[in-house]
Structure 1
Amino acid sequence: MGCYVKRFFIICFTISISCLGYGQTQNIKVYNIKSFGAKGDGIADDTEAIQRCFNLAVKSLNAKIVIPYGKYKLRRALVLNYVEGTKEILGEQQNKTNPTFVSSSLTDILVARGYLFKNAASIFKIKNVTLVGKNLPFSNAHPKINKADWSAALLIYDKKQANIENVVVKDFYGQGIHISTTKQEGIPVSACFQYAEVLNSKILNVWGYNPQNDSYGDGIYMSNVRRGKISNNYINNKLSQTGQLGRSGLVVEYMCKDILISNNLVEEGYDRALHVEETDGGHRIINNKLLGSDLGFVLVEGNQQTSYKSLTFQGNYISNKNLRMLKTVKKTYARANFGDRSLLFIDTKKLLGSPQINITDNTFQIDGTFEYDSNVIFNNRSDYVILSDNRFEAKGTAKNFLIANFSKIENGNGWKNKVVKVQ
């Protein structure tokens, strides 16, 4: 099918796909941003051309937007605003390298926006795209620090499903990849994302500094997702380059349930490596490396209105390795009392039901050549924790550390409140 709009030739391909088991045909229209005038030469401003493509694509129920290899300069955010069907963005790689959107502003780069229906609708997919912001190293003159507003390189709101694979985010202030509903509490389960995944992606030098509210600066953020996966991602905010901590490498919160968090590496540069809060449980946190913080894994639950599903934290490696402190760096969470920050911090107050929080076969290591601003290595304030086959290790330090375990459940490690010398 051929179309002519203004002076640009717009090439649209229609693909028919048979839906197995339904006997229906689903038409997918394919749009190429270069057909709308995008140059991708790293010189021309491609904002309007790409937005024209997006605006036409959202009129199709199911659309695939192709991004040929190149460097596309942007002066403002690109927005896909739609409430039904599937929209997919697919980058065409060259020598396994993604096409790149380069923003000259300090705002969002790519936004997929829906509407908060009682029953979530529409699907968003993106693969093989790099998003580069224009963030500056930390200084008191930085135009964004300690402001209430924030931005996201990839912002996905109010969808039924989100699939993100091989997205690279670089040099961005605020959130790297952000998935949530616009209202995060007091909504029906049916209004949440029914599935979301972030796979094989990289978040590089993404941070935000908002110590007053502690409300942004995450590598990957996911909330209001009823089933999902965060796997095989690499997150690194190099303090030697950015000069300031982000909030958290990975965040899962607000009504999330049954999220697999596996084989991710958080290398350095975040106030905490992994933060899980106010969810409905059921998460499997497996085989991750959570480095670069003296607050490795934070689990804070208790205000849920439904029964909490048991959670598993297994086979993970948690260490303060790579936590090189600069004079400008400010920690935020659990700073009220000395010792609250620890490699494992669990605080579950009034969970409904009789859940288990299974902490098994993990390695907790303190590296004395890096910062560790606490005398506690393990801080548990939950009656539901079961510990088994975990290891405490230390190198480069002869310091004693406190195990603060208030669980009433007998466990395989036999850890109670005591001071231990880590071997």
Structure 2
Amino acid sequence: MDFEMLATRYKDELLNNVLPFWLEHSLDRERGGYFTCLERDGGVFDTDKFIWLQGREVWMFSMLYNNVEKKKEWLEAAVHGGEFLKKYGHDGEYNWYFSLTREGKPLVAPYNIFSYTFAAMAFGQLSLATGDPEYARIAKKTFNLILLKVDAPKGQWSKAYPGTRNLKNFALPMILCNLALEIEHLLDEGFLLKTAEICIHEIMEIFYRPELGIIVENVDAETESLSDTFEGRLVNPGHAIEAMWFIMDLGERLGRPELIAKAVDITIRMIEYGWDRQYGGIFYYKDWLGHPLQQLEWDQKLWWVHMETLISLLKGYQLTGSEKCLNWFKKIHDYTWKHFKDQEYPEWFGYLSRRGEVLLTLKGGKWKGCFHIPRGLYQCWKTLEKIASSPVGASTGNSGIFKNDH
């Protein structure tokens, strides 16, 4: 397998196709911030601004500036979004709204904890890019608020009736694994290690259920047991697979090879569980008892699920040499590049039917922004470079498994 060629392919797609699309079409030069609701050709179809997508885009350009090249246009794009967020994105106490009008007026109250997490990520990377202590202060303040909300993420905006069915959700410990490393430069090392251990325990010991061999989305908050309900039976294979490369990164950071090995094993289990054997691709949702789901989009194939899976498989192979990771990477690489990459316009499609047909031609919207595709391309590029220069990559030889790639 020619890992160098593959690395070049992912790098070229990121730098010459995907990033130029967002730089050209996303920046709102008049009002600040970013447009994320973009048609196939980049035309803006809605001007509302969603805080977690604003934060993700600030993070993206800051991270690339910090890690790839000190390009002026990337830094300017990051600061452009960061200043908009700093001015309009919160209520003055760093409670981050969910969405704003184009001008920056609040539309939806700060009910969503992920507005906070991506604001913290954004300002953490932006502080590194600029050296501005104000950005660092915002990141730390927001992170502290997140920790205060861990037990009740939606706070006063929760729709659940208290005391009847209190469920704990997988998404928050999952994102905290990644966030802690993202803003490590702003945290005391002892606090970082404590936070990491808590997240690892919850993900690998509570939400991973050995009796099922999979990760579930919700457990009973008091007993940490399974819940035979719609929410309790819900499985999101992509969520679990994405979390596994966060765990692999933590395993590297903490020097824990056994944690990496377990994350690789769960990655393979979740792919085998989520893979559509009839049409290919990974299902969006499943029910661990096989019952009908309330999510009508359960059988769709989504961009982020497949991109995050590619990252986890490459990291798993790079760190452990797992041939299962390499074989699954080949299969999902082929599916992803064939179905999600737009062959006529820049950027990638986000939503496919079960059969792999494009459902929506948008390149960005309320949920899809400048994040999973570019981050995934970056992570795959860098991991492939490591494999190409490591004994793991060299030991496989050139199998020709990607000989049809061009």
Instruction: Settle same-fold status: TM greater than 0.5.
Output: no
Which structure has the highest strand share of the two?
A: 1
Between the two structures, name the one with larger relative contact order (CA 8 Å, sep ≥ 6). Answer: 2
Larger Rg: 1
TM class, shorter-chain normalised?
under 0.3
Q: Which has the higher helix share?
A: 2
- Give the TM-score, by structure 1 length: 0.25
- Normalised TM-score (structure 2): 0.26
